[in-house]
């Protein structure tokens, strides 16, 4: 059996490619290496796109969390204001109730005073009537 020059070179680890250039790798390994290189490049591009997407997602969620925190603080402020207003109204209600009690007591005192004065007036008229008829 006679070996061709190409077979002899192949045994020694040298191969010819499609352009008849001498290569260290056999054509199948070179093809697989090239395909792996292309796949790796695509994978790196996809990872970069994924990182961009993740970055924009993180940015959006950060902004959203800041907005939520602002609204939360507004809600807490509104709740505190509402509690403050409720306390002020309760204090005002107590003041008005005290004023009503004071005015009611003053009204009762004045009513009693009026009755006493009316009684006194009636007695004085009766006395005047007795002196004028005599």
Q: Where are the domains of the chain?
A: 5-133
Which three-class secondary structure string do you get for the chain? CCCCHHHHHHHCCCEECCCCCEECCCHHHHHHHHHHHHHHHHHHHHHHHHHHHHHHHHHHHHHHHHHHHHHHHHHHHHHHHHHHHHHHHHHHHHHHHHHHHHHHHHHHHHHHHHHHHHHHHHHHHHHHHHHHHC
pLDDT of residue 131: 85
| Per-residue pLDDT tens over the stretch 5-51 | 555 555 666 666 666 676 666 667 777 888 999 999 999 999 999 99
What is the average per-residue pLDDT within 52-77? 97
């Amino acid at each position: 059996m006679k070996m061709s020059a190409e077979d002899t070179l192949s045994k020694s680890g040298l191969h010819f490619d499609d352009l008849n250039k001498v290569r260290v790798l056999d054509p199948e390994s070179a093809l697989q290496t090239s395909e792996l290189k292309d796949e790796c490049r695509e994978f790196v591009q996809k990872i970069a796109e994924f990182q961009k997407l993740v970055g924009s997602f993180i940015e959006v969620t950060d902004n959203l969390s800041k907005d939520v925190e602002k609204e939360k603080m507004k809600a807490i402020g509104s709740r505190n204001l509402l509690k403050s207003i409720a306390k002020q109204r309760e204090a005002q209600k107590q003041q008005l109730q005290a004023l009503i009690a004071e005015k009611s007591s003053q009204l009762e005192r004045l009513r009693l005073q009026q009755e006493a004065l009316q009684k006194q007036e009636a007695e004085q008229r009766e006395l005047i009537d007795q002196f004028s008829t005599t």
